[in-house]
Structure 1
Amino acid sequence: MSGLSGPSGLNGLVGDIHQAIDADEAMRWVARLAEWDRYQGAEGIAEAADFVAGEAERVGLADVEVLSFPTDGTTAWWTYTAPSSWTPRAAHLSLNGRPPLVSYPSQPYALAANSAATDGEVPLALSREPGWPPGALVLVGSAAGLGPGLFARMRAEKASGFCVTTHPDRPGQAGRVELPGDSALFGFSVFPAQLDELLRAHRRGDRVRVVVDVDTGPRRMPVVVARTPSGSAAEGDACLLGAHLCHPAPGANDNASGVAAALAAGRVLAGRSLRRPVRFVWAPEFVGLAAYVHQAVEEGTRPLPAMAVNLDMVGEDQRRCGGPLIVEYGPEYLPHYANALVEACVRALPPAARSYSGAVGCDTWAWRTTPFVGASDHAILADRAIGVPAVQLGHWPDRFNHSGADTLDKVDPWELRRSAAIAASAAAVAATAGGRDADRLAQLLTRWTARRMTACLPSADGPSPDGPGGDRSAVARLTRRWHYGRDALRTLRPLGASPRVLDRQAELLAGLHRTLSAAWDDGLAAHRPPAPRGPGLRRAWPGPFNLRALMGAMAEKDRQWFLEELTVDRGRCYAAAMALAQSIDGTADAAAVIRTAELDSGIRPATPDFGERFLAAMTGAGWADEVAADVAEPDGQPPVTGTHEESEERGVTA
């Protein structure tokens, strides 16, 4: 039984699962995984995969298998290319015969991924000075200096490699640096004091001894899969719990914590009686899951799950790392009950403490919800081309992310336990719910939608600070959120929800939309976005969207422009680009795509014409086609183009 229709409801279910999560065991898993350098095409990730597979069997999961894919740098699944085989053994920088100034692996992250092997003395050069000597090791003051212009010059002037400090303001922290899989260069990521020593050596005219020892022999990319022992295969997978397996050592939070949380959830779910199975996938980020999903979609090897929860950076010690737990919703174009369910599981967690009288539960940790971004594996599943609603649990910001300081002491076992409990609870509900539970889920979904709709109301302090445009966006967002909740109710039909209950909940949301719309003046409430004036945009790329592959296909001027935008604000730029690409539905013109992307992502790019330029770059790269409005066909849910009067009569069971 899911517990939703029982006397203690969702709170009881989540409390029981939270109690059953073994945080000590999960921390041991994190510690073990942090010992391996888990580069996507390396020996370490294969060893980590074997370990995870063994633990999955030990905790009671069934059909555990390590799938094997090429690491040849050329095999592609849609636009996702296999990693190159590359296992680092050792690397050193030393001056004047002294002990190494920089040494890998004792200094994690010191060696840039995919560095070429080398052994010899080379001259030093500054990135800003003219006339580098052949074979120079170029010293770069910050990660911002690692632009395409630098690498073009390194090729032209036959430099051998570079040395950079990625965190000039953090004395003991070196961040991740990656080179292309076929690079002829090597690179080092060093502490600020180490770069200062190299700068002094450059002023003296000293040369530096460089040793990079790597193994590029043939290997395979592993993807670990498993399922719960109970649950009818005929019902299909109720939920997929996924966590990416890769990243250099230590990578404790990113993403040994996610791998461990999925294993902990697996132990609990393996002991429960489920109607529908829960699937588990541990894979190299993006490319590994793309290979797995490609098999399912293109080769028909397995059905897709009904929903997914991705676990990426789920164990952060919030005080040390600096960020709350983030529930990243699935995208607005895929209405589903998953968003409401996962958030409800967070709310149902037992409080960490209570007030003086004991009457009120008090939490000592923070959490937030955010719109869909898609900066991890859930983007593969939630893409319009795949259509699996996917929610992500993670933490952001994290001041130690992608650096050698992402160590075991940054992981909080209680936070890891909470994250595992949320994922396991959501999966348990999806896997066990019957008719009465589905009716309860419909009510839960309605309350969740009502909160989202109410959040669109204008401020009591006066008009939107963004002017009439801000109010119009709020009205459009209100309608879009209503549509999402109304359409998400339909996803409860396969669980056996009562048509009468679904229709009643849809009526409640329609009534709430009418009531809330009255908060604006009649002109705004009746505002309709303009009908498409230009040609519709249609996806022309295969499979899930891949921003890195698009950048490779862009014209040089467009790529340079986009790289400059990324440099200004990487997170905002990435989110805006993802939202624009996913808002291309085969019907909307460029203006409508931009409006929908801004509504759904909740952000406006810093550059006013970013949307127009990005869509033009996509079209120029052959990733989007312009189609006449009279022949355009929607690829998915179209953007909101009207008010509630247009669709009020479309009931949930119609």
Structure 2
Amino acid sequence: MNSYYVTLWLLLASIPANAIQSSGIIDDALFEIVSESVSGARAKEDVKQIIQNHRVQATKGYSNAAKYIKEELEAAGITNVKTHKYKSNGKKRYNAYTSPMSWTVKSGTLNMVEPYEMNLADYTAVPTSLTTLSNGGSWEGELIDVGSGLKDEDYEDISVEGKIVFAYGYAGRVHRQAVIKRKALGVVIRPSDSDRVAMRDAVRYNGLWPKWEERKKVGFGFQISRAHSEELLNLLDSGKKIIVRAEVDAKLHSGELVIISAVIKGKQKDSGQFVLIAHLDNYKPGANDNASGSAAILEIARTLNKLISSGTIERPHRSIRFLWVPEHFGTMAYLTKDRDELAGAICGINLDMVGENTKLTDTRLDVILTPASAATFFNDLIVEVVKEVKRKEPRSSKGSDNLFEYDLKKFRLGSDHDMLNDPLIGIPTVALGYWSDRYHHTNEDSYDKIDATTLKRNMIIGAYSALWIANAGDEEADKLTILTFAKARERIIQLGLEGSLSLKINDSHEKIKHLTDRIDLQTEVDNNALMSIRKLRSGESAMEDMYRVALDELGKSEKTLMLSNIGKASSKDHRIVTGSTARIPKRKFIGPVSDSYADVWFSENLGESYKWYSEVKISNLDLIRYETVNFMNGKRNISQIHKLVSAELGRYDVKITEIIIDNLSKLGLIEWVKLK
């Protein structure tokens, strides 16, 4: 049997990668139907309607946008539409996320009254200028420059009590330092010296994000433009005293996170589903972020439903699910309370910032693949769909003739795919989005930056991928197995090549082990991706098993070749056995840990231990923590978790993994499995 598998491996290893194009992964006829049917112009009109609302989570503006989505779905004849509501008040927690307070706001102005009068900000004219979750009231006081306003050192020898601080840090963190801790009246936030210097009139979006128990201590916040900031700084530098007056008509209270869920049901019950998700929340206008993604999946839903109801295409075997969410907070509430709705979900796409006029924003599409902890065939499949869009470059008659440019990116955090890629949720999710966008989180993320052609192309990717998965059977699974194996072979050989070129005879055992660990991890990830194809099959198949054995042989071969170049026969693990091998953590929560300016539960409850996160010198700590949590399955010990994450993200000290896990233990987020 072994010789059979080796022969199979030798045969398959000879398959050139470009031969996959002839395997029929893309159904040209269906691709053309989808391409002709989705309307970039119609989606762009949806963007125009959505951005009429200041869509902060758990507010009336968001609810109005959600109401628009629901009405459009129902008008299109989609009957399976639900509105989910979850309590949100700055106190209620959903797993490791604290829901934000709700906010009703009518107006807000900031004016300088000394040494002369000048309007600095007006919420009615520029909604991003008023910091989200500012309290209502009237304040007048001296403006005091505190630099970043983020650190205790910024306030040394300065009394800000009863005054208004002027800073360039994020408003929520500055407010916590200046107002909550030191009794300042409020905060005025300016751009930092390096933040989009050429955009002199842009006003960035920030939030205060107070806890429920802090609501009576909350002051106000405003963001101002660089042009206004420089005028104020010049006055302060010349020794002038600045007095500003803030007036805000707003109220903090308890509210609800609202999610719209819709489904186009498949013919076969309990055969699984594909998920399309987009966050609906943001400031006004927030055109690309993320009215574009919300409009895109709305148009996909309308189009697919029409194609099915008209008989143009058959109803797919599996269901297709659509979710419009308040980013992160709403998604976690939904997964905590109603994740049964996603039962059997095979994979998904998160569309976040997918409508950009790329000549104005100078951006390219990032196709963000899933992490090693969420191995899936879908990474290789969606790349083929994206390539097809590039090859044909479809255009909207109401859009630009811009070229379609994209980059394949390793997993990164930042949107709702963070949650779905958690192995406990089990929905490997690719993200589509244009980055980096200079207009992001400013008032200039506006309708004029939206391109119907860009929307159309990304909707084709989403709609065609959804139909491919929803219709896939044994024949498609066979083709997908060949594709996944061919791409896996490339990845493993590339790692072997990189290792061979970088290794030297006198290299440390740790470096050698890391390079072989990388090959082991990639082999495991690709084997898991092959096995995920079985979700598409109607019954048992030995095909994936045969290809897995072939990959195992390839991985061993690459390690042997790499080590032989430096005269090594093997890379046996000589790491010292420590407490990290004896401790097995098990999670008590789903999703990543919420640790940001918008949610301080984690940092405040860790207390002094939290300082470590700012002191440790490692660039991708957030991603290390994310994958550490994801690989925590109640069976792996700390050393094994560390081995996987460092193989994926680069070498770092096992002590970092130990501290990350110990901090989760301090907060009661994990428990320890007792060894028998």
Kindly provide the CA deviation profile for residues 251-308 of structure 1, in whole angstroms up to 9, marking residues without a partner as x.
11111111111112212322242111101110101121222222234xx566352222
1:579 correspondence with 2:627: yes
Alpha-carbon distance in 2 for matches of 1:236, 1:380: 23
Corresponding position of 1:119: 138
Shift of 1:512: 3.1
1:261 correspondence with 2:278: no
Normalized against structure 2, the TM-score is what? 0.82
Q: What root-mean-square deviation, in Å, do the aligned CA atoms of Structure 1 and Structure 2 show?
A: 3.3
Residue type at the aligned position of 1:174: V
Corresponding position of 1:232: 267
Shift of 1:44: 0.6
Corresponding position of 1:409: 448
**Closer, same or farther: CA 599–415 of 1 in aligned 2, 3 Å:** farther
SS in 2 for 1:333: helix
1:152 correspondence with 2:177: yes
SS in 1 for 2:533: helix
Shift of 1:559: 2.0
1:135 correspondence with 2:158: no
Q: Is the 8 A contact 1:309 1:393 kept in 2?
A: yes
Q: Is the 8 A contact 1:124 1:138 kept in 2?
A: yes
Residue type at the aligned position of 1:329: L
Alpha-carbon distance in 2 for matches of 1:30, 1:525: 60
Q: How do residues 181-580 of structure 1 correspond to structure 2 at under 5 angstroms? A: 181-182=210-211, 183=215, 184-199=218-233, 203-216=239-252, 219-228=255-264, 230-232=265-267, 234-270=269-305, 271-272=307-308, 273-297=315-339, 300=340, 303-351=343-391, 364-459=403-498, 462-463=501-502, 472-496=513-537, 499-522=541-564, 526-529=570-573, 530=575, 533-534=578-579, 535-548=582-595, 551-552=602-603, 554-563=605-614, 572-580=620-628
Alpha-carbon distance in 1 for matches of 2:158, 2:583: 50
Alpha-carbon distance in 2 for matches of 1:525, 1:419: 49
Residue type at the aligned position of 2:246: V
Residue type at the aligned position of 2:210: G
Alpha-carbon distance in 2 for matches of 1:89, 1:319: 36
**Closer, same or farther: CA 446–11 of 1 in aligned 2, 3 Å:** farther
Corresponding position of 1:164: 189
- Range with bigger deviation, 199-208 or 155-164: 199-208
Shift of 1:391: 1.8
Matched residues, percent identical?
Answer: 23
Shift of 1:459: 4.0
Alpha-carbon distance in 2 for matches of 1:517, 1:370: 26
Shift of 1:626: 4.6
Q: Is the 8 A contact 1:30 1:256 kept in 2?
A: yes
- Range with bigger deviation, 250-259 or 205-214: 205-214
SS in 1 for 2:562: coil
Kindly provide the CA deviation profile for residues 197-246 of structure 1, in whole angstroms up to 9, marking residues without a partner as x.
33456543242111112143554321101111x41362244211111111
Q: Is the 8 A contact 2:89 2:253 kept in 1?
A: no
Corresponding position of 1:358: none
**Closer, same or farther: CA 338–555 of 1 in aligned 2, 3 Å:** same
Kindly provide the CA deviation profile for residues 337-362 of structure 1, in whole angstroms up to 9, marking residues without a partner as x.
222222221122252569xxxxxxx9
Q: Is the 8 A contact 1:453 1:482 kept in 2?
A: yes
Q: Is the 8 A contact 1:71 1:218 kept in 2?
A: yes
Q: Is the 8 A contact 1:337 1:488 kept in 2?
A: yes
Shift of 1:48: 0.2
Q: Is the 8 A contact 1:10 1:345 kept in 2?
A: no
Q: Which runs of 5+ in 2 are unaligned?
A: 1-20, 147-153, 309-314, 395-400
Kindly provide the CA deviation profile for residues 84-139 of structure 1, in whole angstroms up to 9, marking residues without a partner as x.
11133221111238452211131242111111112132222222573435421101
**Closer, same or farther: CA 524–234 of 1 in aligned 2, 3 Å:** farther
Q: Which portions of structure 1, spanning 4 or more consecutive aligned residues, are displaced by more than 6 angstroms?
A: 4-8
Alpha-carbon distance in 1 for matches of 2:568, 2:365: 36
Shift of 1:603: 4.7
Q: Is the 8 A contact 1:42 1:219 kept in 2?
A: yes
Corresponding position of 1:618: 664
Residue type at the aligned position of 1:617: N
- Range with bigger deviation, 23-32 or 468-477: 468-477
- Range with bigger deviation, 549-558 or 329-338: 549-558
- Range with bigger deviation, 15-24 or 345-354: 345-354
**Closer, same or farther: CA 232–291 of 1 in aligned 2, 3 Å:** farther
SS in 1 for 2:102: coil
Shift of 1:11: 4.7
Q: How many residues align?
A: 610
**Closer, same or farther: CA 374–389 of 1 in aligned 2, 3 Å:** same
**Closer, same or farther: CA 366–72 of 1 in aligned 2, 3 Å:** same
Residue type at the aligned position of 1:620: K
Normalized against structure 1, the TM-score is what? 0.84
1:599 correspondence with 2:647: yes
Q: How do residues 11-22 of structure 1 correspond to structure 2 at under 5 angstroms? A: 11-22=28-39
Kindly provide the CA deviation profile for residues 572-622 of structure 1, in whole angstroms up to 9, marking residues without a partner as x.
33223212222333344434333322323x3567x9965454344333333
Alpha-carbon distance in 1 for matches of 2:572, 2:438: 43
Kindly provide the CA deviation profile for residues 26-47 of structure 1, in whole angstroms up to 9, marking residues without a partner as x.
1111222122111002111000
Residue type at the aligned position of 1:399: R
**Closer, same or farther: CA 363–286 of 1 in aligned 2, 3 Å:** same
SS in 1 for 2:497: coil
Alpha-carbon distance in 1 for matches of 2:616, 2:78: 45
**Closer, same or farther: CA 617–72 of 1 in aligned 2, 3 Å:** closer
SS in 2 for 1:86: strand
Q: Is the 8 A contact 2:164 2:185 kept in 1?
A: yes
Q: Is the 8 A contact 2:585 2:661 kept in 1?
A: no
Q: Is the 8 A contact 2:164 2:184 kept in 1?
A: yes
SS in 2 for 1:499: coil
SS in 2 for 1:171: coil
SS in 2 for 1:242: strand
Residue type at the aligned position of 1:560: K
**Closer, same or farther: CA 610–151 of 1 in aligned 2, 3 Å:** same
Q: Is the 8 A contact 1:114 1:180 kept in 2?
A: yes
Residue type at the aligned position of 1:214: A
Alpha-carbon distance in 1 for matches of 2:586, 2:362: 38
Shift of 1:375: 2.3
Q: 2:94 aligns with which of 70, 77, 98?
A: 77
Alpha-carbon distance in 2 for matches of 1:507, 1:302: 32
Q: Is the 8 A contact 2:346 2:535 kept in 1?
A: no
Q: Which runs of 5+ in 1 are unaligned?
A: 355-361, 632-654
